[in-house]
Structure 1
Amino acid sequence: MAEFIFEIDGLTHQFTDGTIALKNLSLTIQQGKKIALLGNNGAGKSTLFQHLNGLLQPTSGCIQFKGKKLKYDRKALLSLRKQVGIVFQDPDSQLFSANVQQDISFGPMNLGWAKDEVLLKVEWAMKQTEVTELKDKPTHFLSLGQKKRVAIAGVLAMEPDVWILDEPTAGLDSYFSKQILTLLDHIHQPDKTIILSTHDVNLAYQWADEIIVMNDGKIIYQGDPATIFHHEELLHQAHLEKPWIVEVYQSLSEAGIFSVEASPRSKEELFQTWNLKSLE
C-alpha cells in the first residue's frame, strides 16, 4: 500500500489583505515520488509550499506529515524543517551569511552535527552544485544563478527526506538547469520525495513521476505526466502549453508515421521510436 508523506484535507489560506490563496484544497503526496507542480502565476503554488514547511499556518483545514497532524510550536517546527527542506524561488530570501561556505553550513550546524561531519557535508554539497570555487565569496556578490545553486547546496547539505523547490531552474542557463535536474535525479531515492514547481512543461513532462496542476488556489489535476497533456480543456484552464515532444509525436501520428501510442518522454525516446519505425 502506498505510503503518503503528506495528507492535506480542506486546506484554506487567507492572507491579512483578504486574498484567499488556497481554497479548500485536498491532496495526498506519496513518499518517494518526483513531483512537478504546474500552474500560472497566482495559482497558489508558493503558498502551498510554505504550508508544507510550516512557514504558513492554515486558515482552516488539516495537514498531516508522516501520519501526524502538523503542530506549530518551536520544537515541532524544528523537527519538520529537519525533514522538509525548501529552496525559495528568490534566493535572496534564503541567503544571509557572510560568504558561501558559511551560508551552506548554517543548516547542518543547526542540526547539531559534529563539526567534522558538517564540513564533509558542506564540501560535498558545494562540489555537487559546482560552487566550491565560490566558497569564500560574499553571497551578495553572486549572480542569480550562483545564488540559486548556493541555496540548493544549503538544503542538499542537510539531506532532508522531502525536497521542495520553487522554480529551481528559473534564471539558470541550459547547462546549469540540466545539472540541477541531474543532481535531483542523483539524490532521489525510494525514501526521498522531491516536489518542484516550474513553468517549464518540457522539464515537468520529462522529469516527473507525477504532475500536479493548480489553478486559482485549487488542485485541478493530479496524475501521470502523459495524461494531462491530452486534456485540452485543463490545459486551457491552467494556461499550459503542450511539451514540444508531445506536439511533434501527435503531428507525426496524425500523419500516419507513428501509430497513436503513449508519447515519448524525452528527445532520446523520440529518436529511439523513430529508429525503430525506420527498421519496420
Structure 2
Amino acid sequence: MDNYFDIINLTHRYADGTVALNNLSLTIGKGKKIALLGNNGAGKSTLFLHLNGILEPSSGTIQFNGTKMKHDRKSLFHLRKQVNIVFQDPDSQLFSSNVLQDISFGPLNLNLSQEEVLRRVEWAMQQTEVEQFKHKPTHFLSLGQKKRVAIAGVLAMDPDVFILDEPTAGLDAYFSKQIMNVLDLIHGPNKTIILSTHDVNLAYEWADEIIVMNDGEIIYTGDPISIFRKNHLVQQAHLEKPWILETFDELLQGKQLSSNVEVPRRKEELYTLIKKVEITV
C-alpha cells in the first residue's frame, strides 16, 4: 500500500445541523509532508478528528492501510498507535500531574519495555526542550510550554502518521523553527506528517503537498507552487502569496530573472538568485 488514508465521499454533520465536511474525497500517501490550509471554519480540525477516529462520518468511508476504519474500542486502540494528533489547544490534551508523567502516558500504553519508554521520553523532551521543567505541574506552564509538551507526548509514541493542528501557533520564532526541525528529523519514507496552519510561508517552504479546504470541501490538492499560481483559489480560500514567491515574481516582472529559472521554494534559494542578479548588474 502506497497510501495511509483513502477517504471516500466523507460528510460530517454536527448535531446542530452544521455540515463541516461535504462529500469530501482525499488520498493521503505514505512519506508525505502535507500542509492543510484554509480559513477558520473550513473543516480542517473536523477532518483531523476523523483521521484519528475521534469523530465518526455521517456518511462516506475512511480506509486506513486499505482497511475500512472501525470505531470499536479495539480498532481505535490499534489505529491510535499508528495515527496520533496534537490538538491546537494543548489544555485538551494534557491531563497528568506533571510534564514527565504526561509525556510518558502514551508510550506506557504501547506495551513497551521500561527502558524503551524512558529512551523515547528523554529523546522527545530533548527535541522539544522541556527537560528543565519535566517535574513541573502542567497547569503551571505557559501556552507555548504546554504546546511543546503536547508535541513531545506524541513524538514519544512514534506514530506512522503525525497530525498537528496549528503546531506553531502560540510559539515564538525560536521554538517554531525548533518544532519544524523536529518534524523534518522524524520524517521518512513511511512517516507522514500532516499539519494545519494559517502561515502560508511555512506551508510553502516545508510541505511537499498542500491541501486547501473551503466550506468543508477540498478545492486544491497538489504541489506548493501551483496553488499560489491559481489566483481564484487563493482568493476563495482567503490566502496570501508567500513572500518568497511574491519576491520571485517581482524579479520576473522586472526582467531581472529569465522565465526559465526554477521557482525557489526556500529563502536560501531565493537569496542565491538575488545574488546572481546583483553580480549581473
Q: Above 0.5 in TM-score? A: yes
The residue type equivalent to 1:232 in the other structure is: N
Question: Deviations 1:221-248 (Å, cap 9, x if unpaired)?
Answer: 0000000001100000000000011111
Q: Does 1:49 align with 2:51?
A: no
Tell whether the 8 Å contact from 1:220 to 1:234 is kept in structure 2 after alignment: yes
Aligned to 1:10: 9
Tell whether the 8 Å contact from 1:53 to 1:81 is kept in structure 2 after alignment: yes
The residue type equivalent to 1:264 in the other structure is: P
Question: Deviations 1:96-147 (Å, cap 9, x if unpaired)?
Answer: 0000000000000111112221111111110111000110000000001000
Tell whether the 8 Å contact from 1:226 to 1:262 is kept in structure 2 after alignment: no
Aligned to 2:94: 95
Q: CA RMSD in A?
A: 1.0
Mean CA deviation greater in 269-278 or 2-11: 269-278
Using the alignment, how far apart are the partners of 2:278 and 2:241 within structure 1? 26
Q: Offset at 1:39?
A: 0.1
What secondary structure sits across from 2:188 in the alignment?
coil
Q: TM-score, normalised by structure 2?
A: 0.97
Question: Deviations 1:1-25 (Å, cap 9, x if unpaired)?
Answer: x811100000000000110000000
Aligned to 1:122: 121
* Pairing of 1:132-211 with structure 2 (within 5 A): 132-211=131-210
The residue type equivalent to 1:192 in the other structure is: K
Using the alignment, how far apart are the partners of 2:105 and 2:204 within structure 1? 34
Aligned to 1:238: 237
Question: Deviations 1:48-96 (Å, cap 9, x if unpaired)?
Answer: 0000000000000000001110011100000000000100000000000
* Pairing of 1:210-249 with structure 2 (within 5 A): 210-249=209-248
Using the alignment, how far apart are the partners of 2:123 and 2:29 within structure 1? 28
Aligned to 1:251: 250
The residue type equivalent to 1:82 in the other structure is: K
What secondary structure sits across from 1:37 in the alignment?
strand
The residue type equivalent to 2:31 in the other structure is: G
Aligned to 2:271: 271
What secondary structure sits across from 1:7 in the alignment?
strand
Tell whether the 8 Å contact from 1:125 to 1:153 is kept in structure 2 after alignment: yes
Q: Offset at 1:275?
A: 2.5
Q: Offset at 1:279?
A: 4.5
User: Following superposition, which runs of at least 4 residues in structure 1 exceed 6 angstroms of deviation?
Assistant: none
Q: TM-score, normalised by structure 1?
A: 0.98
The residue type equivalent to 1:34 in the other structure is: K
Q: Offset at 1:155?
A: 0.3
Using the alignment, how far apart are the partners of 2:64 and 2:262 within structure 1? 34
Q: Offset at 1:278?
A: 4.1
Ranges in structure 1 where 5+ consecutive residues have no aligned partner:
none
Using the alignment, how far apart are the partners of 1:94 and 1:259 within structure 2? 50
Tell whether the 8 Å contact from 1:34 to 1:194 is kept in structure 2 after alignment: yes
The residue type equivalent to 1:270 in the other structure is: L
* Pairing of 1:68-107 with structure 2 (within 5 A): 68-107=67-106
Tell whether the 8 Å contact from 1:245 to 1:263 is kept in structure 2 after alignment: no
The residue type equivalent to 2:268 in the other structure is: E
Using the alignment, how far apart are the partners of 2:83 and 2:56 within structure 1? 15
Using the alignment, how far apart are the partners of 1:274 and 1:251 within structure 2? 11
Identity %: 68
Using the alignment, how far apart are the partners of 1:202 and 1:271 within structure 2? 16
Aligned to 1:25: 24
Tell whether the 8 Å contact from 1:104 to 1:122 is kept in structure 2 after alignment: yes
Q: Offset at 1:262?
A: 4.0
Tell whether the 8 Å contact from 1:100 to 1:139 is kept in structure 2 after alignment: yes
Q: Offset at 1:263?
A: 2.5
